[in-house]
Amino acid sequence: MNETIETILNHRSIRKFKDVKISDEQLDLILSSAQQASTSSYMMAYSIIGVTDEEKKAQLAEITGQAYVKNNSHLLIFCADLYRHTLQASEEQYEQMLANLENSEHFLVSAIDAALAAQNAALAAESMDLGICYIGSIRNQLDKVDEILSLPKHVLPLFGMVIGVPDHQPDKKPRLETKAIYFENEYNQDQKDELQAFDKEIAAYYQSRKTNTRSDSWTDQMLRRFTNPMRMDVTGIVKKKGFNKQ
């Protein structure tokens, strides 16, 4: 196995960091790795906001309810960004672009571009023995995050990423068997056996892990997730920001 794959397979989210800053060189490498990700039709339809202002970090930590959003070396917020794409258009051209720019296709393009850049950033960080955790809970109050970061129309915060020197080594979290997510030529709807086997595996993992042991299964987690309405304001905010309108 080569070092790249070893890094990828060794991933676990890190939620406790040493009180040290990563170097400027490390940050530059993380950002240029993010930028080198493939990007749909060369659109580069994302932006990354590095939050270095301690007050803003504290506000974002409060929104997420997660102390590690404040206690880390770096906090990056990944945004879908279709702002720069109209910047040099005339008023008339802007009007012609708008319906296309604001449709579901370009919402997907920008969200995918941001996610690809983020995962490159994550791997670059992990390859330098840094730890990361994605932060979706900035969407707890998306409009507030939008305001804190002064984001214009056509720039939408999607998720954050905290980065730093790990101060714990959590157990590696199991994944579904490959055959539950990889199908040849056609989708396999009959996944119950794999899910039941995985529920047993993950229940044993939750019982045996070093911290935060609990009785749980993947199926129970998904039941809780989808029976409790969540962040129901996101749809409206996404549209208000000029994304996914048709």
Ligand X SMILES: Cc1cc2nc3c(=O)[nH]c(=O)nc-3n(C[C@H](O)[C@H](O)[C@H](O)COP(=O)(O)O)c2cc1C
Residues that bind ligand X (CB under 6 A): 11-13, 15, 64, 66, 133-137, 159, 173
Instruction: Considering the complex, state which of residue 15 and residue 57 has its C-beta at the smaller distance from ligand X.
Output: 15
Strand 46-51 to strand 131-135: parallel, antiparallel, or no bridges (unpaired)? unpaired
Instruction: Considering the complex, state which of residue 64 and residue 244 has its C-beta at the smaller distance from ligand X.
Output: 64
Compute the least distance from the CB of residue 90 to ligand X, in Å. 37
Instruction: Considering the complex, state which of residue 84 and residue 201 has its C-beta at the smaller distance from ligand X.
Output: 201
Instruction: Considering the complex, state which of residue 101 and residue 164 has its C-beta at the smaller distance from ligand X.
Output: 164
Instruction: Considering the complex, state which of residue 72 and residue 101 has its C-beta at the smaller distance from ligand X.
Output: 72
Q: Dihedral of the CA atoms 150, 161, 26, 45 (nearest 10)? A: -60
Compute the least distance from the CB of residue 173 to ligand X, in Å. 4
Instruction: Considering the complex, state which of residue 81 and residue 102 has its C-beta at the smaller distance from ligand X.
Output: 81
Distance CA 117, CA 178 (A): 24
Residues 243, 227, 206, 16, CA torsion sign? positive
Compute the least distance from the CB of residue 129 to ligand X, in Å. 16
Distance CA 63, CA 57 (A): 10
Compute the least distance from the CB of residue 225 to ligand X, in Å. 11
Compute the least distance from the CB of residue 98 to ligand X, in Å. 28
Instruction: Considering the complex, state which of residue 166 and residue 245 has its C-beta at the smaller distance from ligand X.
Output: 166
Largest distance between two CA atoms of the chain: 62
Distance CA 217, CA 205 (A): 9
Compute the least distance from the CB of residue 191 to ligand X, in Å. 19
Which residue, judged by CB position, is nearest to ligand X in the bound state? 136
Compute the least distance from the CB of residue 3 to ligand X, in Å. 19
What would the DSSP string read from start to end of 46-96? EEEEEE--HHHHHHHHHHHT-GGGTSSSEEEEEEEE-SGGGTT--HHHHHH
Which tokens go with 212?
Answer: 């935060």
Q: Which of 100, 99, 53 is nearest to 77 (CA)?
A: 53
Which tokens go with 236?
Answer: 């409206």
Q: Dihedral of the CA atoms 127, 132, 136, 142 (nearest 10)? A: -100
